[in-house]
Amino acid sequence: MPIDDDLKQLDPEDERSTGDTALEQTDVLPPTPMVGGKYRLGRLIGEGGMGAVYEAEHTGLGVRVAVKLLNEVFVTDPSAMSRFRREARAAAAIRHPNIVEVTDTGSDEEGVPFIVMELLEGESLSALLRREKVLPPMVAATVTTQILSGLAAAHDKSVIHRDLKPGNILLARREDGTCQVKILDFGISKFRSEVTQDVTAIGAVIGTPRFMAPEQARGQTDLDHRVDIYAVGVLLYRMLTGKLPFAAKSHEEIIHHILTGTVKPPREIRPDLPEALEQIVMKAMASDRDHRYQSAREFITEIQTALPDLAGGTVQITAHTGLTNTPTPMSLNTGPGSSLLASFTPPTREASPHALRRRRSPALPVTAALVVLLGGAGIGGFLLWGRGDGPTAATVDAGAHFNGPPLHFGITEYLPKRQLVKEHNALVQYLSRRLRRPVELKVYEDYIDLSAQLAAGKLDLAALSSYAYVRAKRHSPGLRLVATHVTTGGTSYEGYIVTKADAGVTRLQDLKGKVFCYVGPNSTSGYLYPRAVFREQGMDPDKAFRATRFTGDHLSALRALESGACQGAAVFAGIFFEAKKHGMAPQRFRILASTARIPYDAYCVPPSMPKETVHSLTEALLALTPGSKTTEEVLGRKSRIIGFAPARDADWDPVRRIEKYLDAPEGTMKLEQ
Helices of type H across 242-342? 251-260, 266-269, 275-284, 296-306
| pLDDT surpassing 80 at residue 30 | no
Q: Can 122-344 and 492-598 be said to share one CATH topology?
A: no
| pLDDT surpassing 60 at residue 583 | yes
Over the range 211-238, which residues count as b (16 or more CB within 10 Å of their CB) and which as e?
bbbbbbbebbeebbbbbbbbbbbbbbbb
Fold of 122-344: Transferase(Phosphotransferase); domain 1 (1.10.510)
| Cα 143 from Cα 157, distance rounded (Å) | 22
Q: What is the pLDDT of residue 496?
A: 93
Residue 350 or 395, more confident: 395
| pLDDT surpassing 70 at residue 350 | no
Please state which of the ranges 42-56, 258-272, 511-525, 562-576 shows the lowest mean pLDDT.
Answer: 42-56
| Cα 667 from Cα 240, distance rounded (Å) | 57
Residue 191 or 374, more confident: 191
SS3 state of residue 259: helix
Contact 225, 400 (CB under 8 A): no
Please state which of the ranges 92-106, 174-188, 214-228 shows the lowest mean pLDDT.
Answer: 174-188
Q: What are phi and psi of 528, to 5 degrees?
A: -70, -55
Q: What is the pLDDT of residue 48?
A: 53
Q: Is 163 a catalytic residue?
A: yes
Q: What is the pLDDT of residue 367?
A: 41
468 confidence band (pLDDT: 50, 70, 90): confident
- For the residues of 495-524, what is the DSSP string, one character each? EEEEEETTSS--SGGGGTTSEEEES-TT-I
| pLDDT surpassing 60 at residue 546 | yes
The residue-averaged pLDDT of 254-259 equals 81
| pLDDT surpassing 50 at residue 209 | yes
Contact 354, 398 (CB under 8 A): no
| pLDDT surpassing 80 at residue 423 | yes
Q: What is the pLDDT of residue 77?
A: 65
Per mean pLDDT, which of 292-296, 356-360, 444-448 is the most reliable?
292-296
Domain spans in the chain, listed from the N-terminal domain onward: 122-344, 407-489+600-652, 492-598
Over the range 3-40, which residues count as b (16 or more CB within 10 Å of their CB) and which as e?
beeeeebbebebebebbbbbbbbbebebbeeebbeebe
Q: What is the pLDDT of residue 349?
A: 33
CATH tag, 492-598? 3.40.190.10
Q: What is the pLDDT of residue 132?
A: 84
196 confidence band (pLDDT: 50, 70, 90): very low
162 confidence band (pLDDT: 50, 70, 90): confident
SS3 state of residue 564: coil
Q: How crowded is residue 82: how many other Cβ atoms within 10 Å of its Cβ?
A: 15
Provide the pairing of β-strand 461-464 with 407-412.
parallel
| Cα 356 from Cα 440, distance rounded (Å) | 12
pLDDT tens profile 372-417: 333 333 222 222 222 223 333 344 444 445 667 899 999 988 777 8
Per mean pLDDT, which of 126-140, 514-528, 551-565, 604-618 is the most reliable?
604-618
In CATH terms, 407-489+600-652 corresponds, of 3.40.190.10, 3.90.1150.10, 3.30.420.10, 3.40.1190.20, to 3.40.190.10
With a threshold of 0.75, does the pTM exceed it? Answer: no
Contact 171, 181 (CB under 8 A): yes
Residue 538 or 92, more confident: 538
The residue-averaged pLDDT of 46-54 equals 65
Q: What is the pLDDT of residue 618?
A: 95
Catalytic residue selected from 14, 20, 163, 228 = 163
Q: What is the pLDDT of residue 159?
A: 86
The residue-averaged pLDDT of 164-176 equals 83
Q: What is the pLDDT of residue 357?
A: 24
Q: What is the pLDDT of residue 661?
A: 62
Residue 648, sorted as left (phi over 0), alpha (psi -120 to 50) or beta, turns out to be: beta
| pLDDT surpassing 90 at residue 499 | yes
Residue 309 or 32, more confident: 309
| Cα 624 from Cα 112, distance rounded (Å) | 43
To which H or E segment does residue 537 belong?
Answer: none
| Cα 49 from Cα 448, distance rounded (Å) | 6
| pLDDT surpassing 70 at residue 439 | yes
Q: What average pLDDT does the chain have? A: 74
| pLDDT surpassing 50 at residue 3 | no
% of the chain residues with pLDDT over 90: 26
The residue-averaged pLDDT of 353-365 equals 29
The residue-averaged pLDDT of 541-559 equals 87
One-letter amino acid for residue 589 of the chain = F
DSSP letter assigned to residue 478:
T
DSSP letter assigned to residue 166:
G
Q: What is the pLDDT of residue 464?
A: 92
| Cα 462 from Cα 481, distance rounded (Å) | 10
